[in-house]
Structure 1
């Protein structure tokens, strides 16, 4: 679902939901699909020319800490 979201608000809400679901479970964090990991990494990169909302960027940065830690 995540790679198909275009609207920034929908993407933000989906990232928040993912973070909520995996925050308390190490096994769920480890089972995050590699495609989702790649997307999170891409969204966490700060690019001034990008259309990515800064809230999406900040949320993705927090997810990087959770998923890749």
Structure 2
């Protein structure tokens, strides 16, 4: 699972889209690794658009399981 996600995120970066992990600017490798080893929850994606409706950034925020 890690490699396909990392590849997807690299594609976003190549398009100039910023990637954030828990509110901190991050990179594809770090995010993919965090998503793979997450325990007690998972990561939720949030796509943030610019004023023209294009994706400007993708946030990955940890969400605890209940």
Larger % of helix: which? 1
**TM-score scaled to structure 2, two decimals?**
0.27
Higher relative contact order structure (alpha carbons within 8 Å, sequence separation ≥ 6): 1
Structure having the higher Rg: 2
**TM-score scaled to structure 1, two decimals?**
0.26
